[in-house]
Amino acid sequence: MNAIALLNAAKDGILTGSVYALMATGLTLIFGVMDIINVAQGILVILGAYLSYALSVHLGIDLFVGLLITIPTLFVVGVVIERVFMARLKGPEKTAMSILVTYAVSLLIEGTLNTVFSVNVVQLQASYVTRSFSIGGVHFGFIYVAGFVMAAVLLSALYFMLYRTRFGVSVRASLADQTSAALVGIDVRRVSTICFGIGVAVTAAGGMIYGSTNAFNASTSYDLISRLLTIIVLGGMGSLGGAMLAGVSMVFIGDVVGTVWSPVWSTMSYFVVLVVVLLVRPQGLFGKQSARVA
Amino acid sequence: MRQKKNLWWLPAIALFGFFPMWVSNPSYMAIAVLTLLYMACATSWNMFSGYSGYVALGSGVFYGVGAYTMALASTHWHMAPGAGMFWLVPLGGLAASAVALPIGWAALRVRRHTFVVITIATLFIFQNAAFNFSFTGGSAGIALPFIQWNASYYNVPFYYVALGILIFITVVSAVVRRSRFGLQLLAIRDDEDRALGLGVKVAAVKRAGFTMSAFTIGMAGAVYAMFLGQIYPQFAFDPFFDISIALMAFLGGLGTLTGPLLGALILEASQQYFTVSYPYLYLFLYGALFLIVIMFMPQGVVVFLRDRVTKKAEREKAAVASNEAAVAGVAS
């Protein structure tokens, strides 16, 4: 244990955490606008990773160039899931039902991925995946930095869309109150569909980085989704800024705990942090103190 | 009227009671034991989550705690392998309830959606702890005292113990459903703030329901550990278990008594069948079956069928009434 090791852990936490923040932002956006908990987000990340894998292995398309194909593809997947399954969910049990339906969807995808790609773990390969550079004794893996930059760009784009465009105003209105938004003439259905598409599309980018920094197969998604859910609850469900802060701080805390004590406790630290925070602030860091909803 | 109708349990008990005498194939019996355990767990889960509307997805914690209690107690006390170990089953239930107390205290402070996620988190905390603590044997797990029963007979004691647990929880769940406590849980589901306003001690009622529901799941976990003879963290604290029992209750009909029983019977049996017949595609088939049921029978199979029957009866009644009216019209 020395200062350099701690610095490395902090750096990893911030770089990797930003990618988690990106994936969690999609999840919290979907929840905020639609009151839907998309449990399939984990497997969709893996689907994104497998798409990048297929493109690079079979067609020789570079991972980053491949995103131009995988991001729109997953957007369409999201829109289809929303139209076919989510649009039918109504009534007081909507959120609970959404967990079950998206879980069933994730089983469908998991079964398909197991059949198509087998259950052997793979990892995305490219010349730059293993390359790194160092500044003042701190090593930077190229792919981690690229992931951080990409997450920052995409999150900025998302923020620009939400706060500087007319569509963004509709989204924020729907986030605040769906009924009122519909009353002032916002097409909440359309906003929901597009938000679900966007929320799923970010998994393509997240999945590409995840797939090149971790070996994965379809069942890796359980670990992912539990982390992502923890992040959005910690940040406050439906809060975009909360998801980002929580994403970075969760991985940061996990990495520091892993360095200071032992890596085996790093996964557990997320959950302990979550429980402690919720005891003090039941609505999460930035959650609205919402009315009781069924 | 309601009392007269509810005699479904008589033939059901007879059917389950005599099942091992017709079916001697050990692999079918093993599926039957697991199905009974799942039926008990789904009913117990429904007794809290179905009645109160607080969907818990971390019940695997109680299953795992029950399983580890059985494994640790039987090995540390050097129990003779055999039927004597069944005495530890209630201990597994008590341990699970003891664990549920602090979890419920922490997790039930938050709103429904957050509650779901916290319960998921607790499962991973426990799984991680089981991997990393030394007394749980880490990833190598724990081997229980080896029971040397004849293979053709091995499953039968487990079958009847599981059936006993199932009958126990079905009776408890039925009693709760008709009691004041059950009404309070249902009131929380319908409108928690109003229930609070009307004087229901919602926090205490929720905690009590949560702890009670843990007991049976813990007992089932203890039987499961003994049945397998060896436990590992990922089997004892299994995320698939959480979602499975919730699915079973939803599939059959959330908040009903027979729903979880029927849901578990259909799902566990079909899952075992799919797993064996289609080792790669079974998840796909399972997911598809599940989606079809949710999309077309969102209230669950039991409610769907009941509505069908009552609607048919109403239609017949209406038809008879209009006939009579027509006859009366002709007569006059």
Confirm or reject contact between B116 and chain A (CB < 8 A).
yes
Contacts of A285 in chain B (CB under 8 A): none
Q: Find residues 244-263 of chain B whose CB sits inside 8 Å of chain A.
A: 246-247, 250, 254
A111-158 confidence digits (pLDDT tens):
889 888 888 888 888 777 777 777 776 778 888 888 889 888 988 888
Confirm or reject contact between A290 and chain B (CB < 8 A).
yes
Domains and CATH numbers, chain A: 3-280 (1.10.3470)
The pLDDT score that the predictor gives to residue B100 is: 92
How many CB atoms neighbour CB A4 within 10 A? 12
B102-116 confidence digits (pLDDT tens):
888 888 877 777 788
Considering CB atoms only, which of A99, A111, A283 is closest to B284? A111
Cβ–Cβ of B284/A112 closer than 8 Å?
yes
Considering CB atoms only, which of A101, A114, A230 is closest to B294? A101
Cβ–Cβ of A275/B121 closer than 8 Å?
yes
Residues A221-228 have a mean pLDDT of 84
How many CB atoms neighbour CB A120 within 10 A? 7
The pLDDT score that the predictor gives to residue B2 is: 45
Considering CB atoms only, which of A93, A229, A268 is closest to B117? A229
Q: Find residues 8-67 of chain A whose CB sits inside 8 Å of chain B.
A: 31, 35, 37
Q: Exposed, middle or buried by CB within 10 Å (0-12, 13-18, 19+), for A135?
A: exposed
In angstroms, what separates the C-alpha of A100 from chain B's closest C-alpha?
7
Contacts of B203 in chain A (CB under 8 A): none
Segments of chain B scoring below 70 in pLDDT? 1-6, 325-332
The pLDDT score that the predictor gives to residue A241 is: 84
Is the predicted pLDDT of residue A282 greater than 80, yes or no?
A: no
In angstroms, what separates the C-alpha of B28 from chain A's closest C-alpha?
25
The alpha carbons of chain B give a radius of gyration, in whole angstroms, of 22
Which pTM value belongs to this model? 0.80
Cβ–Cβ of A265/B132 closer than 8 Å?
yes
The pLDDT score that the predictor gives to residue B216 is: 94
Cβ–Cβ of B117/A104 closer than 8 Å?
no
Residue of chain B nearest A92, judged by CA positions: B190
Q: What ipTM was assigned to the predicted interfaces of this complex?
A: 0.71
The pLDDT score that the predictor gives to residue B25 is: 78
Confirm or reject contact between B79 and chain A (CB < 8 A).
no
The pLDDT score that the predictor gives to residue A291 is: 42
Q: How far is CA B66 from CA A70, B13, B28, B104, in A?
A: 45, 26, 25, 17
The domain spans of chain B are 24-299, 308-332
Q: How many CA atoms lie within 13 A of B176 on its CB side?
A: 28
A83-94 confidence digits (pLDDT tens):
988 888 877 778
Contacts of B291 in chain A (CB under 8 A): 85, 101, 104-105, 108
